[in-house]
Amino acid sequence: MISFRMWILLVLVSYHVTSVTSQNDNQRVCHTEDCRLGQQIASMMDTSVDPCEDMFQFSCGGWLRDNPLPVNGEYLTLLDKLKTQNKKEIIQFLENDDVRDQCRESTALEKARTIFKTCTQTEANATLLYKSLVNVRPLFIRRQFVL
């Protein structure tokens, strides 16, 4: 009987300890915009370097470590990286057929998608251009125009 009571007491104590620990962990989590910005700035730093020896490495080493220069030199700064990321997301958005179904009432979006597809389907456009030139060529020959 004593061992059963001890077992119940052990379970209750362990439950209490885990619930208190999880509450403390939730209080330590960063929820405000200022706190998240501070974490982002701290992640861009390399605290393993002495700032008196190499201030640039200290302040930007984390950024350089987490964002190595691509082989093609696509971006160098945070602004360049965001510009590249936005460009990729816009292309994915314009190529996605599910978006067309969701935004049927937006004529601007439909026009943007049409222009994008016209510009990106160069092989199909070249084939259409060739066929139209082949059809027009006899007209020029009959009128004795030299191509």
Contact 100, 113 (CB under 8 A): yes
Residue with tokens 């936005």: 86
For the chain, residues with pLDDT lower than 50 are 23
pLDDT single digits (tens) 61-75? 888 888 777 777 665
Q: Any idea of the CA torsion for 117, 120, 124, 129, to the nearest 10 degrees?
A: 100
Where do the structural domains in the chain lie, given as residue ranges?
29-68, 72-146
pLDDT single digits (tens) 23-48? 455 556 777 888 888 888 888 889 89
- Cα–Cα distances in Å, from 32 out to 22, 43, 109, 147? 19, 17, 35, 70
HEC letters along the chain: CHHHHHHHHHHHHHHHHHHHHHHHHHHHCCCCHHHHHHHHHHHCCCCCCCCCCCHHHHHHHHHHHHCCCCCCCCCCCHHHHHHHHHHHHHHHHHHCHHHHHHCCCCHHHHHHHHHHHHHHCHHHHHHHHHHHHHHHHHHHHHCCCCC
pTM higher than the cut 0.75? no
